[in-house]
Amino acid sequence: MNKYLSRVYESVKARDKFEPEFLQAVNEVFESLSDYVDEHPEIEANAIMERIVEPERSVEFRVTWVDDNGVAHVNRGYRIQFNSAIGPYKGGLRFHPSVNKSIIKFLGFEQIFKNSLTGLSMGGGKGGSDFDPKGKSDNEIMRFCQNFMLELNRHIGENVDVPAGDIGVGGREIGYLFGAYKKYKDSYDAGVLTGKGLEYGGSLARKEATGFGLCYFVSKMLEKMANDSFKGKDVVISGSGNVALYACKKAYELGGKVIAMSDSNGYVYNPKGINFDLMRGLKEDKRARISEYAKQDKDAKYFEGSKGVWSIKCDIALPCATQNEIDLDIAKVLVANGVKAVGEGANMPCTMDATNFFIANKILYAPAKAANAGGVMVSGLEMAQNASRLSWTFEEVDNYLHKQMEAICVKVFDIASSYNDPFNSVKGANIAGFEKVAKAMIAQGIL
Ligand code: NDP
Ligand code: 2IT
């Protein structure tokens, strides 16, 4: 790593030593930028790296809510406003018991570069809570969302910070959050949240956007780098939430066959192919566990333990659940089983060792901040529709998404090639995302 970068990285390590996920995300970006920073002395002269690793603002707050039995509970809420060089802070909210400051910071940091890659004007941010939505009634979810927004509303706004969904936050939660925001502010600011319902300012194709976008990226990567496609490929997808479901749908539409999917308890395997409609109905409409799927598909088998999904031989692996789900051991199994492409639907699903192993073995690798940028891209289109008080058709949004995901893919691999490292899409994505943000920060002065 370049001397300036390693000096800044050491200071982050000393200051944020209890934030392993954040350090991991920073380390990956810094490793990628070494050559670029060597070539661009203005980065150090403007203290870009010192500034980019420090959130512009970070709020942590108490969320108190009362369950259906009248018992009070306290959770911790976060909103990290990381970087506003190219637009208002933008990024999802995650509700999951594992949420802590390190996780929200890593997600917010990644979001800066992802949002830049979309080509739209959005800064980076992230938020969430350690609230566990599992097993909660609809009324409990509603009360939690209202109490979360009781504090969050002070920090967000259409031109300030625009949250959306992430793990544990989907259309239902965004609806409750939006209703509460409107009540507290007494103002219909449609563009303050994205992922809204279609009846009140949501965009067609936002629900599908991350999974579809991932497949558009992987499809282009297969074509550009190997003159290949999804046709006839066995696909394994981890997770069965929003991103995983629509990656599954699009993988089929592009000619692939999805043979396994998972949740945090286990996975289902059907060598003849997972039935998308059955899976979607169970997971999206009924919020069922994935074990239910195997009871309704006679060709499918359920296995306990989510990691086992990666032991299934496949051509294309799409991790769409959570961070660090693929470590070096799993990466070795995937490569030994002949995987051709890995596309990250989740944020940072591969450890650094796993990522480096894929790239060293010339596996086509689609890094999260590029490959899953379709979700926030369509969030950006939702903001544009809200600002113009118009709504676009599904085809208009989907065509834009398709074209732009392909453009990101080409850019990422072209940059990697320009550094004589054609399979290093991580370097390509980080340089492509960083460049615009750094230039904007320099143009706006040292603040
Ligand atoms: P959902 O809440 O809809 O689904 C999450 C899925 O991942 C569920 O199947 C869940 O299983 C599984 N999962 C979550 N945590 C774990 C864990 N610790 N171990 C194993 N499985 C786990 O979330 P999304 O689909 O929206 O998000 C999935 C990933 O995609 C996340 O990394 C998110 O940051 C990323 N992402 C999401 C975008 C979006 O637009 N929604 C955009 C870009 C990235 P279970 O139900 O058992 O918990
Ligand atoms: O990680 C992500 O990009 C998201 N969860 C979507 C963020 C958004 O603002 O749509």
Closest CA to 362 of 340, 345, 330: 340
Residue type, position 225, single letter = M
Buried b (16+ CB within 10 A) or exposed e, 120-134: bbbbbbbbbbbbebe
Quick: pLDDT tens for 1-19: 899 999 999 999 999 999 9
Query: In the predicted model, what is the mean pLDDT of residues 247-256?
Result: 98
**Mean pLDDT, to the nearest integer, of 229-257?**
98
CA dihedral 392, 165, 373, 311 (to 10 degrees): -130
Query: 360 is written with which tokens?
Result: 């060293």
Please give the full DSSP string across 15-45, using - where no structure is assigned: HTTT-HHHHHHHHHHHHHHHHHHHH-THHHH
- In order, the DSSP letters of 179-247 are HHHHHHHTS--GGGSSS--GGGTPPTTHHHHHHHHHHHHHHHHHHHHHS--STT-EEEEE--SHHHHHH
Whether this prediction's pTM lies above 0.85 is answered by yes
Query: Confidence band (pLDDT; 50, 70, 90) for 22?
Result: very high
Q: Which of 116, 120, 166 to mutate to test the pocket of ligand 2 (most atoms within 8 A of CB)?
A: 166
Tens of pLDDT, residue by residue over 330-387, are: 999 999 999 999 999 999 999 999 999 999 999 999 999 999 999 999 999 999 999 9
Per-residue pLDDT at 332: 98
| Residue ranges lining ligand 2, Cβ < 6 Å | 90-92, 114, 164, 166, 194, 347, 375-376, 379
Q: What is the pLDDT of residue 375?
A: 98
292-318 residue pLDDT tens: 999 999 999 999 999 999 999 999 999
Give 382-410 pLDDT, tens digit per residue.
999 999 999 999 999 999 999 999 999 99
The answer to whether the CB of 166 is under 6 A from ligand 1 is yes
Q: pLDDT band for 222, please (50, 70, 90 cuts).
A: very high
State the pLDDT at residue 159: 98
Q: What is the mean pLDDT of residues 144-155?
A: 98
Looking at residue 230, what is its pLDDT?
98
Burial environment of residue 71 by CB neighbours within 10 A (0 to 12, 13 to 18, 19 or more): exposed
Structure tokens at 415: 């940059």
Q: What is the predicted pLDDT for the residue at 407?
A: 98
**Ligand 2 centroid from CA 239, angstroms:** 16
Q: Which residues are catalytic?
A: 126
With a 6 Å cutoff on the Cβ, whether 306 touches ligand 1 is yes
Residue nearest to atom 10 of ligand 2 (CA): 376
Q: Are 247 and 330 in contact (CB under 8 A)?
A: no
Coil/strand/helix, residue 294: helix
Q: How many CB atoms lie within 10 A of CB 207?
A: 22
Nearest atom in ligand 1 to the alpha carbon of residue 107 is 34
Place of tokens 């991580």: 426
Q: Which domains does the chain have, with CATH numbers?
A: 3-188 (3.40.50.10860), 208-366 (3.40.50.720)
> Can you tell me whether residue 274 is helix, strand or coil?
coil
CA of 44 to the centre of ligand 1 (A): 36
